[in-house]
């Protein structure tokens, strides 16, 4: 009441502006641009994607409704099964390593030393630089004929035959896992470092006086207190990795022999490469239930940890 009295005694506000005082109107106005963009380019395509996956569309042929036929088809597709396995394996292994190495790096950075700010800035480069570009550098490093890694191992006497990083199915998967870890460790390290810095050093000192050696201090004090941040970071990372495309597209395109296909690359190959739009859409959509479950489980776990 006082506010309107004050503004009333000054210049008379236009009726339209007075409406902005009403919080609901203001909120709607503020959220409108976001709602439009997200509605138009996420909700609408999602809906269209569902319809597409339930049709028999091809490039140039809108097709007709076929129900769940596409899903039956991919379920029987051995390549699809390999893809599912690949994606889970890829996501699982990389996440574990990213967490362990990122945590280790965060602990190393959690002290005072000269040049800390510069090192911290440089460490983020793998995460900042466009993935495609840095992946090409790795591809060059892994190229079976010209690999500098092979050269180093050869010089050190570890190998006499070349290692066919990208031609052998298992090695190819290992290669992309390595690159993904390389790219993700900085993200984990920097965010976990911030989490570590919220833990008061006095707690470690008290634990030291209480008789805890370094590993016990980590396990009983650092790890539990870091849990909330860890879970959120893992959640972000899992979503990203599960839906990964660029890395595999550049390195192997999904081969050799479909050994490195992920949901995204297989969907691309079928949908855009071969023009089987509806089946590609079905594969893309197949990601959704898995993502949904993973996220819900993690969110529940986060809530449980925070209210413990």
Partner 1 sequence: MAEVSLHKLNKKFDTTHVVKDVDLQIRDKEFMVFVGPSGCGKTTTLRMIAGLESVTAGEIRIDDKVVNEVPPMDRDIAMVFQNYALYPHMSVASNLAFGLKMRKFEKAEIEKRINNAAAILGIENLLQRKPRQLSGGQRQRVALGRAIVRDPKVFLFDEPLSNLDAKLRVQMRVELKKLHERLAVTSVYVTHDQVEAMTLGDRVVVMKDGVVQQVGEPLELYNTPANRFVAGFIGSPAMNFADVTLAENGGRPVAEAPGLRIGLPGELATRARARSGHKATLGIRPEDIHVATAADAPEYCFEAAVEVVEQLGSEILLDMRAGPALMVASVDPTLRVRAHDKLKLALKPERLHLFDAETEAAI
Partner 2 sequence: MIEGALWRRWVFYNIPLILFVFVLLFPFYWMIVTTFRPDGELYLPWNAPNYMPFWTNNPTLEHVLYLFEETSFSRWMFNTMLIALVSTVISLFCGVLAGYALARLNFPYAGGLGTAIFITYLVPQTLLFIPLAEIIRNFQLGDTPWSLILTYPTFLIPFCTWLMMGYFKAIPKELEECARIDGASRWKAMVYIIIPVAVPGILSSGIIAFTLSWNEFIYALVFLSSPDQKTVPVGVTSELIRGDVFFWGPLMAGALLGSIPVAIVYSFFVEHYVSGLTGSVKG
Which residues 219-258 are close enough to bind partner 1 by CB under 8 A?
220-221, 224-225
Decide which of partner 2, partner 1, none touches 176; Cβ closer than 5 to 8 Å per partner kind. Answer: none
Cα separation, 253 vs 82, in Å, equals 15
Decide which of partner 1, partner 2, none touches 301; Cβ closer than 5 to 8 Å per partner kind. Answer: none
Cα separation, 215 vs 245, in Å, equals 38
Q: Cβ of residue 211: shortest distance to partner 1, in angstroms?
A: 4
Residue 54 binding partner 2, by CB under 8 A: no
DSSP string, 246-305: HHHHHHTTT-STTTT--HHHHHHIIIIIS--HHHHHHHHHHHHHHHHHHHHHHHHHHHHH
Stretch 161-200 residues interacting with partner 1 (CB under 8 A): 200
Residue 207 binding partner 1, by CB under 8 A: yes
Stretch 207-236 residues interacting with partner 2 (CB under 8 A): 208, 229, 232-233, 236
Decide which of partner 1, partner 2, none touches 209; Cβ closer than 5 to 8 Å per partner kind. Answer: partner 1
Residue 232 tokens read as 């959120």
Q: Cβ of residue 50: shortest distance to partner 2, in angstroms?
A: 8
Q: Cβ of residue 289: shortest distance to partner 2, in angstroms?
A: 11
Residue 199 tokens read as 């833990």
Among 208, 243, 295, 302, binds partner 1 (CB under 8 A): 208
Residue 301 tokens read as 């776990």
Q: Cβ of residue 166: shortest distance to partner 2, in angstroms?
A: 12
Q: List Cα–Cα distances, 92 to 87, 147, 234, 236, 242, in angstroms.
A: 8, 27, 11, 13, 9
Cα separation, 35 vs 167, in Å, equals 46
Q: Are 96 and 272 in contact (CB under 8 A)?
A: no
Among 16, 23, 213, 289, binds partner 1 (CB under 8 A): 213
Q: Cβ of residue 279: shortest distance to partner 2, in angstroms?
A: 10
Cα separation, 143 vs 136, in Å, equals 10
Residue 195 binding partner 2, by CB under 8 A: yes
Decide which of partner 2, partner 1, none touches 79; Cβ closer than 5 to 8 Å per partner kind. Answer: none
Q: For partner 2, give the closer residue by CB, 68 or 125.
A: 125
Q: For partner 1, give the closer residue by CB, 29 or 216.
A: 216
Among 54, 94, 184, 186, binds partner 2 (CB under 8 A): 186
Within 10 A of 251 (CB to CB), how many other CB atoms are there? 21
Among 60, 67, 130, 157, binds partner 2 (CB under 8 A): 130
Q: Is the dihedral of CA 253, 255, 260, 262 positive or negative?
A: positive
Phi-psi region of 261 (alpha: psi -120 to 50; beta: other; left: phi over 0): beta
Binding range to partner 1, per CB under 8 A, among 50-58, 73-81, 85-93, 210-218: 210-218
Residue 208 tokens read as 């030291």
- Binding residues (CB under 8 A) for partner 1: these are 200, 202-203, 205-213, 216, 220-221, 224-225, 308
């Amino acid at each position: 009441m006082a506010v309107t009295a004050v503004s009333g005694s000054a210049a008379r506000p236009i009726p339209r502006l007075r409406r902005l005082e009403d919080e609901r109107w203001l909120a709607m106005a503020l959220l409108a641009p976001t709602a439009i963009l997200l509605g138009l380019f996420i909700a609408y395509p999602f809906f269209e994607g569902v319809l597409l996956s339930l049709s028999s569309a091809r490039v140039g042929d809108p097709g007709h409704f076929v129900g769940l036929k596409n899903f039956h088809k991919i379920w029987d597709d051995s390549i699809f099964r390999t893809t599912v396995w690949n994606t889970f394996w890829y996501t699982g292994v990389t996440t574990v390593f990213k967490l362990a190495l990122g945590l280790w790096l965060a602990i190393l950075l959690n002290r005072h030393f000269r040049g800390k700010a510069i090192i911290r800035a440089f460490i983020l480069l793998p995460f900042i630089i466009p993935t495609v570009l840095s992946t090409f550098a790795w591809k060059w490093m892994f190229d079976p004929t010209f690999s500098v890694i092979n050269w180093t191992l050869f010089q050190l006497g570890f190998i006499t035959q070349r290692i066919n990083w990208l031609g052998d199915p298992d090695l190819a998967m290992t290669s992309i896992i390595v690159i993904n870890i390389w790219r993700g460790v900085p993200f984990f390290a920097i965010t976990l470092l911030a989490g570590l810095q919220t833990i008061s050093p006095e707690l470690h000192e008290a634990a030291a006086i209480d008789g805890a050696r370094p590993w016990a201090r980590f396990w009983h004090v650092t790890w539990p207190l870091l849990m909330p941040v860890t879970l959120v970071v893992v959640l972000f990372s899992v979503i990203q990795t599960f839906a990964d495309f660029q890395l595999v597209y550049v390195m192997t395109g999904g081969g050799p022999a479909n050994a490195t296909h992920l949901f995204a690359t297989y969907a691309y190959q079928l949908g855009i490469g071969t023009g089987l739009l509806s089946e590609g859409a079905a594969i893309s959509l197949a990601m959704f239930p898995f993502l949904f479950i993973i996220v819900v489980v993690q969110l529940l776990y986060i809530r449980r940890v925070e209210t413990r």
